[in-house]
Amino acid sequence: MGRPAGFEEATAVRAARRVFWQHGYEQASVPDLERATGLGRSSLYHAFGSKRGLYDAALASYLDEVVRPRLRPLQTPPVAAGALAGYLERLLTAVSAVSTAGSRPPGHEDDDRGDALHGCLLLNAAAAPIGQDETVRAVVAAYRRELRAAVADGLAAARPDLAEDAREQLGESVTALVVAALALVRVDPQAAGDSLRAALATARPDPRPEPRPGRQDHPRG
């Protein structure tokens, strides 16, 4: 059977992504995916080959439509001094809203609140049985490298006062705190917020004024 009239692959992938995001690969059933996408099993398999093929497409769309738009201000030169702090503040706002409300209202899976509701889709995969798959491991590792590089560029803009080796160490710390927050948020939003606040405290732009060129103070004698 071919694809139904009006089929849009990207729309189906986004709908399936919400199911995988909420339930994980192993617990997301094919009937769940059929209901979410509005497609029959034969149409899903024709378009994506298998449940696993649909999952791989969901991971790719998560990177392209959720992760990279957030990171773009850190990846597009010239990077603003406050870009890294802005990225962390957006995550913290989403996590704090869930923690304060004590509930997880649906409908925001595709924005910053999606990670606050369900955690990071990629880090969830890493902690699940599907994370033992070589392809999934490679996708998660590449995501971590991309995050680390974006943090490095953000720190270079925010903290030019630091020596390169100090920024390198700080970049590792900030990246680890972000990963920890996104891994914890489903079970402990408060701890996730604490991790993001710790990252934010070190990532704000250097508040010290830059010296004015051409002016020097000389001791009177």
pLDDT in tens, 158-205: 999 999 999 999 999 999 999 999 999 988 999 999 999 999 998 888
Instruction: Give SS3 for 178.
Output: helix
What does the alpha-carbon distance between residue 24 and residue 11 come to, in Å, rounded to a whole number?
Answer: 19
Cβ pair 193, 95 in contact under 8 A: yes
Q: Which CATH class is domain 9-203?
A: mainly alpha
* Mean per-residue pLDDT of the chain: 86
The letter for the amino acid at 5 is: A
What does the alpha-carbon distance between residue 193 and residue 141 come to, in Å, rounded to a whole number?
Answer: 24
Q: What secondary structure letter does DSSP report for 208? A: S
In the numeric block, which tokens belong to residue 187? Answer: 């079970």
pTM: 0.83
Cβ pair 57, 133 in contact under 8 A: no
7: left (phi over 0), alpha (psi -120 to 50) or beta: beta
User: Is residue 150 very low, low, confident or very high in pLDDT (cuts 50, 70, 90)?
Assistant: very high
Cβ pair 15, 28 in contact under 8 A: no
Q: What is the pLDDT of residues 94-124, one digit of tens each?
A: 888 876 655 444 444 555 556 667 889 999 9
Residue 26 has pLDDT above 80, yes or no: yes
> What pLDDT does residue 207 have?
62
